[in-house]
């Protein structure tokens, strides 16, 4: 059993400087709050440019937080060797993580050098082979190969295997299935489900409502840097309250099932619960573990906060 970590974002904001002469700035993430408990997959969904990768990069300590607080087990992210032993990211494009000149399993050697220098050769080989089998690859078929001799799915899974050689507690998976074909996609998702069972926390980032969304017990819907709706996945997608969430749902093609797009939202769920001023991040708790932002619809007469 791995030891999971609790991720907590409290009104996290990220502003990037924009323009060559330092004049303007872009607020890529605006007062975002949510958490992810150990053993929980939380999916972060929103269209391109909504700030998802920025959140992933802040969790990984690859970029700083401009405002609010982001903690893992109550401690602010402190990038360094000890941190990356427990917190790792896997990204959309697996090819970019490999140097084409070197064999793909060099990524394992790098982990060994940094984290397990004392492990004897034979034991290390056994650990690598086990990690490779854990991601449902055949060590004989993938070890010793060059990146161009492996598929995107194999490279992606090797990166997950590499993370498994650490004392991993939290994984950020940013659009990891986007480049994979349908069957490999299911393998990778099964793998994530396995990690979750082992007690890891996973932040699963995606731009569409893919299968991965259903792995997640909780979902955060992001739009233009803000959370528009979040909570229990079944509640968010079974009873979407924000017009944007409904738009995402309406974009999902369904096979073999008659599909009625959700009714347009006519009244603002936020202001229907009007007396409630919302939580500190400006969200209203519409039902237990289901929060929604103001939609700025005509009936509420307000512009979204
Ligand atoms: P997503 O992953 O949802 O597509 P990103 O987090 O990549 O969104 O980007 C959110 C916003 O922040 C976009 O407007 C993007 O242009 C901007 N942005 C991202 N990275 C940088 C950066 N390093 N410098 C300036 N702006 C950035
Ligand atoms: Mg992105």
Q: Measuring from atom 21 of ligand 1, which residue has the nearest CA?
A: 16
Find the mean pLDDT for residues 146-160.
Answer: 90
Which residues are near ligand 1 (CB < 6 Å)? 16, 26, 28, 46, 48-54
Q: What percent of the chain has pLDDT over 70?
A: 86
The whole-model pTM stands at: 0.89
Q: How far is the CA of 294 from the centre of ligand 1 (A)?
A: 24
Residue 270 domain flag: no
User: Which residues form the domain of 86?
Assistant: 7-221
Q: Which residue has the higher pLDDT, 141 or 253?
A: 141
Whether the predicted pLDDT of 199 surpasses 90: no
- Look at residue 16 in the predicted model and tell me its pLDDT: 94
- Look at residue 57 in the predicted model and tell me its pLDDT: 96
Find the mean pLDDT for residues 176-199.
Answer: 81
Q: Which residue has the higher pLDDT, 103 or 93?
A: 103
- Look at residue 302 in the predicted model and tell me its pLDDT: 60
Q: Measuring from atom 2 of ligand 1, which residue has the nearest CA?
A: 53
Q: How far is the CA of 223 from the centre of ligand 1 (A)?
A: 12
Find the mean pLDDT for residues 230-239.
Answer: 93
Q: Measuring from atom 14 of ligand 1, which residue has the nearest CA?
A: 49
- Look at residue 275 in the predicted model and tell me its pLDDT: 43
The full DSSP string for 23-51 is -EEEEEEEEEEEEE-TT-EEEEE--TTSS
The DSSP letter of residue 263 is: P
Average the pLDDT over each of 89-93, 252-256, 272-276 and give the range with the smallest value.
272-276
Smallest-distance ligand from the CA of 48: 1
The CATH number assigned to the domain holding 152 equals 3.40.50.300
Q: How far is the CA of 14 from the centre of ligand 1 (A)?
A: 10
Tally of domains within the chain: 1
Q: Which of 47, 49, 92 to mutate to test the pocket of ligand 1 (most atoms within 8 A of CB)?
A: 49
Smallest-distance ligand from the CA of 220: 1
Residue 250 binned pLDDT confidence (cut-offs 50, 70, 90): confident
Q: Measuring from atom 24 of ligand 1, which residue has the nearest CA?
A: 16
Q: How far is the CA of 238 from the centre of ligand 2 (A)?
A: 26
Q: Which atom of ligand 1 is nearest to the CA of 48?
A: 4
Residue 227 domain flag: no
Smallest-distance ligand from the CA of 225: 1
Q: Which residues contact 9 (CB under 8 A, 6 or more apart)?
A: 32, 33, 34, 35, 55, 68, 69, 70
- Look at residue 272 in the predicted model and tell me its pLDDT: 62
Q: How far is the CA of 207 from the centre of ligand 2 (A)?
A: 8
Q: Which residue has the higher pLDDT, 18 or 65?
A: 65
Find the mean pLDDT for residues 247-260.
Answer: 67
Q: Which residue has the higher pLDDT, 231 or 177?
A: 231
Residue 14 domain flag: yes
Q: Which of 264, 263, 267, 265 is nearest to 298 (CA)?
A: 267
Residue 235 domain flag: no
Q: How far is the CA of 53 from the centre of ligand 2 (A)?
A: 4
Q: What is the mean pLDDT of the chain?
A: 86
Q: Which of 287, 173, 169 is nearest to 232 (CA)?
A: 287
Average the pLDDT over each of 72-81, 134-143, 163-172, 175-184 and give the range with the smallest value.
175-184
- List the beta strands (DSSP E) in the chain: 7-18, 24-36, 41-45, 67-72, 75-76, 87-90, 170-174, 201-206, 218-223, 226-232, 284-287, 290-292
- Look at residue 130 in the predicted model and tell me its pLDDT: 93
Residue 272 domain flag: no
Smallest-distance ligand from the CA of 222: 1
Average the pLDDT over each of 166-175, 227-236, 265-274, 284-293 and give the range with the smallest value.
265-274
Whether the predicted pLDDT of 215 surpasses 60: yes
Whether the predicted pLDDT of 17 surpasses 90: no
Q: Say if residue 293 is exposed, middle or buried (CB neighbours under 10 Å; 0-12, 13-18, 19+).
A: buried
Whether the predicted pLDDT of 220 surpasses 80: yes
- Look at residue 261 in the predicted model and tell me its pLDDT: 59
Average the pLDDT over each of 20-24, 53-57, 101-105, 300-304 and give the range with the smallest value.
300-304
Find the mean pLDDT for residues 86-107.
Answer: 88
User: Which residue reads 């494009």 in tokens?
Assistant: 93
């Amino acid at each position: 059993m791995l030891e999971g970590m609790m991720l907590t974002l409290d009104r996290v904001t990220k502003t990037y400087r924009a323009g060559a002469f330092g004049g303007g700035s872009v607020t890529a993430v605006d007062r975002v709050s949510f958490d992810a408990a150990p053993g929980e997959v939380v999916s972060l969904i929103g269209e391109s440019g909504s700030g998802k990768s920025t959140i992933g990069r802040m969790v990984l300590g690859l970029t700083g937080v401009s405002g609010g607080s982001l903690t893992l087990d109550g401690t602010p992210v402190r990038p360094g060797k000890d941190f990356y032993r427990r917190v790792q990211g896997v990204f959309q494009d697996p090819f970019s993580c490999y140097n084409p000149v070197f064999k793909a399993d060099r990524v394992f050697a790098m982990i060994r050098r940094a984290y397990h220098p004392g492990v004897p050769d034979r034991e290390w080989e056994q650990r690598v082979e086990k990690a490779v089998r854990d991601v449902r690859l055949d060590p004989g078929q993938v070890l010793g190969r060059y990146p161009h001799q492996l598929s995107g799915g194999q490279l992606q899974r090797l990166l997950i295997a590499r993370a498994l050689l650490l004392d991993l507690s939290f994984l950020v998976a940013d659009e990891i299935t986007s480049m994979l074909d349908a069957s490999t996609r299911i393998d990778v998702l099964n793998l994530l489900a396995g990690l979750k069972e082992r007690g890891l926390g996973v932040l699963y980032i995606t731009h569409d409502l893919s299968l991965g969304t259903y792995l997640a017990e909780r979902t955060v819907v992001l739009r233009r840097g803000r959370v528009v709706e979040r909570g229990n996945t079944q509640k968010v997608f079974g009873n979407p309250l924000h017009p944007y969430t409904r738009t995402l749902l309406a974009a999902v093609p369904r096979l073999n099932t008659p599909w009625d797009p959700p009714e347009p939202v006519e009244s603002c769920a936020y202001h229907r619960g009007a007396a409630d001023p919302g939580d500190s991040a400006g969200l209203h708790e519409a039902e237990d573990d289901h929060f929604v932002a103001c939609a700025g619809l005509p009936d509420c007469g307000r512009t979204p906060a």
